[in-house]
Amino acid sequence: MTSRRSFLTGLAAGALLPPPAVPQTKGKLRITSVECIPVKLWARSSQGRLPEFKGDFDPARWRYSGPYAQLASAQMVIVKTDQGITGYGLGAGGAVAAEIIHGHLQHLLVGANPLNIELLWDQMYTSSALYGRRGVFVMALSGIDNALWDIAGKYAEQPVYRLIGGARAEKTPGYFTNADPSVGLELGFEHFKLPVRDGVRQGKAGMRRTVESLAEARKTIGPERTLMIDCGTRWNDENYTLEMARLLEDLDLYFIEEPLSPDNILGYERLIEEIDSAMIVNGEHEYTQYGYAMLLHHNATEILQPDISWCGGLTALRKIAQMGAERGLPIIPHRGSSLYGMAVVLTANAPLAESFGTGDNGTDLMLAMSSPYKDGYYYPTDKPGFGTEVTEEMIRKHAGSSAV
């Protein structure tokens, strides 16, 4: 059990982690404009399609998220400066995030020095305290913060990962997230994560389907490769999850991801105490170092899984990684093989990088943000900033998919 003193110490350390100094040898920069554009990352997606429910109790009603779920609500922030340096930041929240940026946050940025990243993050976060703190506001903040880091790297003519400590290894093993592991096998992956489609609302029949499908997946990839599952909160009941973990013991799962609601922190604490056959992980949908402080205080995850595009950007993610390191916990960011996520994967205690773009049927915009991949590993790039191939023209070409 984490003591009150150690909890507060950990939070303070995470909150006070300074940004790297970027010498302003080229004179002070000033932000001249900030724009947020919702974008499409997948070549084919049903996101935003109007639903057809089969009555008031259709299980699909609990899963309908409009155009604001996961990477389907992606947005890109474009920050321009008076020296011609442009930063591109991946965020989320779609048209709602764009409204927050255009109506609120851009007014804190235009005219400011973009290299004062920590200062600007704190001003944006604090100024939103009465309406923001979590959810779509932090997704908006994330896109801006990532764009500022992109500017810092380009200004210093260095990759962002070098600004924050440098790579710990020349490459990182990747894991493939897809319902069909055979696709990942063909691409050379050794580690696999499968989405679980049935949950507590599908009862015993859903349990049987889950066990059967995962047993088939284990057979497909063989006993020596890593198998993980993502429940997407569908198991959202502690006793149901405990029973499922028992039924899946023979499959040697590395981890069970997000079986419960992100808000059920005490439930995650219980699962970790009672399940030994697989690690219980969560945090993909947690926000900022402050949210993670509570997660860690309650020992509610065994691996940290923040997403750089909606946890508060790189500024928050660095602090989250530090807080985890102080507790001996690894970090495997959600979709960590994006060039944004790889900045932390390369510099922190990250044993794996989740696929982003690889085998995803992504648009050229998504692929422009994907890390180099070969034979099961992701590699860094030496290009300045986050090292993406993103252009303003490319962003505008894919604009509008999450503005429904």
Domain chopping of the chain, boundaries: 21-157, 162-391
Confidence at 269, pLDDT banded by 50, 70, 90: very high
pLDDT at residue 45, as a whole number = 64
High-pLDDT (> 70) share of the chain, %: 91
pLDDT at residue 196, as a whole number = 97
342 with 353: CB under 8 angstroms?
yes
Catalytic residue among 191, 298, 334, 398: 334
Other Cβ atoms within 10 Å of 148 Cβ, number: 29
Q: What is the pTM of this model?
A: 0.92
Task: Establish whether 334 is a catalytic residue.
Answer: yes
For the cut 50, the answer to whether the pLDDT of residue 298 exceeds it is yes
Other Cβ atoms within 10 Å of 103 Cβ, number: 9
Give the burial class of 252: count Cβ atoms within 10 A of its Cβ; 0-12 exposed, 13-18 middle, 19 or more buried.
middle
Minimum mean pLDDT range among 47-51, 84-88, 135-139, 297-301: 47-51
Q: Would strands 191-195 and 253-257 be described as parallel, antiparallel, or unpaired?
A: unpaired
For the cut 60, the answer to whether the pLDDT of residue 4 exceeds it is no
Minimum mean pLDDT range among 74-78, 116-120, 372-376, 399-403: 399-403
pLDDT at residue 155, as a whole number = 96
Q: Would strands 253-257 and 279-281 be described as parallel, antiparallel, or unpaired?
A: parallel
Say which CATH class 162-391 falls into: alpha beta
pLDDT at residue 98, as a whole number = 96
For the cut 70, the answer to whether the pLDDT of residue 333 exceeds it is yes
For the cut 90, the answer to whether the pLDDT of residue 74 exceeds it is yes
Confidence at 25, pLDDT banded by 50, 70, 90: low
Across all residues in the chain, what is the average pLDDT? 91
Same fold, 21-157 and 162-391: no
Q: Which CATH number fits domain 21-157: 3.30.390.10, 2.70.160.11, 3.40.50.620, 3.40.190.170?
A: 3.30.390.10
Give whole-number Cα distances, 137 to 102, 128, 243, 279, 291, in Å. Answer: 12, 8, 36, 30, 14
Confidence at 14, pLDDT banded by 50, 70, 90: very low
199 with 235: CB under 8 angstroms?
yes
> Contacts for 120-129 with beta carbons within 8 Å, 24 or more apart?
120/144, 120/148, 121/145, 121/312, 121/313, 121/315, 121/316, 125/288, 125/312, 128/104
For the cut 60, the answer to whether the pLDDT of residue 10 exceeds it is no
With b for 16 or more beta-carbon neighbours within 10 A and e for fewer, the 36-57 pattern comes to bbbbbbbeebebbeeeeeeeee
Q: Please identify which residue in the block is written with the tokens 């929240």.
A: 93
Specify the DSSP element, H or E, that contains 295.
helix 288-297
d(Cα 377, Cα 353) in Å, to the nearest integer?
Answer: 8
